[in-house]
Structure 1
Amino acid sequence: MITSCQSILPPPPPDEVLTTTSFPATLEPNAFYTPSPTPLSTPTSGITPTSCTVGRVETYTIEPTPIGKPLRFRVYLPPCYDSHATPGYPVLYLLHGQGSDETLWMDLGLPQLADQLMGRGQIPPFLIVMPYEEYALRDPQQSTFGQTIIENLIPWVEGHFAVCPGPSCRALGGISRGAGWAIHITIQHPDLFAAIGAHSAAPFWGDDLRLYYRTTDYPPEQWPRFYFDSGAQDRYLEPAQAFVNRLSELGISHEWHLNPGAHDFTYWQNHLEDYLRWYAMQWQMSSP
Structure 2
Amino acid sequence: MGCQLWSVDVRQCAREKHPMLVTMRVSPIRLSAALLSLTLLTPAFAGGAGGPRALMPDFSAVTPWPIDCHAAPTLTDGCRLRVPIPAGTMLPTTGQFKIVPGTNQLTVLYRAAAGTGRPILCCGLQIPLAPLPSTDVWAATVKVNNLNRAVISLQVLTEAYSPLTPTTVWRGPQAPAPVPRPGVLAGQIDRFSLTSDSVIGPRDIRVYTPPRWTNAERLPAVYMADGQAVEEFARTLEAAMARGTAPRVILVGISSAQSTGVTGSDPLKDHRALEYLEGLPGGAASFAAHEQFVLSMVLPHVEQTYHLSTRPQGRVVAGFSNGAAWAISMAARHPQVFRGVVAMSPGSGGAQNAPHPATRVFVEAGTLEPLFLNSARTYAANTRLAGNPTHLEVRVGGHDEAVWRDVFPSGVAFALNH
TM-score norm. by structure 2 comes to 0.48
Q: Which amino acid aligns with 2:381?
A: N
Shift of 1:119: 3.5
Q: Is the 8 A contact 2:221 2:250 kept in 1?
A: yes
In 2: Cα distance, 1:61 partner to 1:105 partner: 15
CA gap of 1:131–1:228, structure 2 versus 1, over 3 A, is same
Does 2:61 match 1:61?
Answer: no
Helix, strand or coil: the match of 2:294? helix
In 1: Cα distance, 2:250 partner to 2:211 partner: 10
Does 2:406 match 1:276?
Answer: no
Shift of 1:174: 0.5
In 2: Cα distance, 1:283 partner to 1:195 partner: 7
In 1: Cα distance, 2:393 partner to 2:340 partner: 16
**What percent identity do the matched residue pairs reach?**
20
In 2: Cα distance, 1:112 partner to 1:249 partner: 34
Q: Deviations over 1:228-287 (max 9, x none)?
A: 110011142222222222223333321111111111233323x2xx322332354355xx
Helix, strand or coil: the match of 1:136? helix
Query: Match for residue 111 of structure 1?
Result: 234
Large movers: runs of 4+ above 6 Å = 16-19
Residues 155-170 of structure 1 aligned to structure 2 (within 5 Å): 155-170=300-315
Query: Match for residue 133 of structure 1?
Result: 256
Q: Is the 8 A contact 2:192 2:206 kept in 1?
A: yes
Q: Is the 8 A contact 1:90 1:164 kept in 2?
A: yes
| Greater relative CO (CA pairs within 8 A, separation 6+) | 1
Give the aligned length.
222
Q: Deviations over 1:174-207 (max 9, x none)?
A: 00000000011112112212210110111434x2
CA gap of 1:243–1:281, structure 2 versus 1, over 3 A, is closer
Computing the radius of gyration over CA atoms, which structure comes out larger, 1 or 2? 2
CA gap of 1:159–1:65, structure 2 versus 1, over 3 A, is farther
Query: Match for residue 338 of structure 2?
Result: 193
Gaps of 5+ in 1: 1-12, 20-33, 38-52, 97-101
In 2: Cα distance, 1:65 partner to 1:177 partner: 23
Gaps of 5+ in 2: 1-120, 127-156, 163-180, 258-270, 275-279
Helix, strand or coil: the match of 2:272? coil
Q: Which amino acid aligns with 1:184?
A: S
Helix, strand or coil: the match of 1:93? strand
In 1: Cα distance, 2:414 partner to 2:194 partner: 31
Shift of 1:151: 1.7
Higher helix share: 1
Shift of 1:14: 6.1
Match of 1:179 among 324, 328, 332: 324
Match of 1:77 among 185, 204, 209: 209
Query: Match for residue 90 of structure 1?
Result: 220
CA gap of 1:185–1:281, structure 2 versus 1, over 3 A, is closer
Q: Is the 8 A contact 1:232 1:259 kept in 2?
A: yes
Does 2:183 match 1:36?
Answer: yes
Does 2:386 match 1:253?
Answer: no
Helix, strand or coil: the match of 1:196? strand
CA gap of 1:263–1:65, structure 2 versus 1, over 3 A, is same
- Give the aligned CA root-mean-square deviation in angstroms: 2.8
Match of 1:232 among 343, 346, 367: 367
In 1: Cα distance, 2:348 partner to 2:302 partner: 26
Q: Deviations over 1:204-228 (max 9, x none)?
A: 34x23xx26xx8xx5x3xx411111
Q: Is the 8 A contact 2:237 2:408 kept in 1?
A: no
CA gap of 1:268–1:278, structure 2 versus 1, over 3 A, is closer
TM-score norm. by structure 1 comes to 0.68
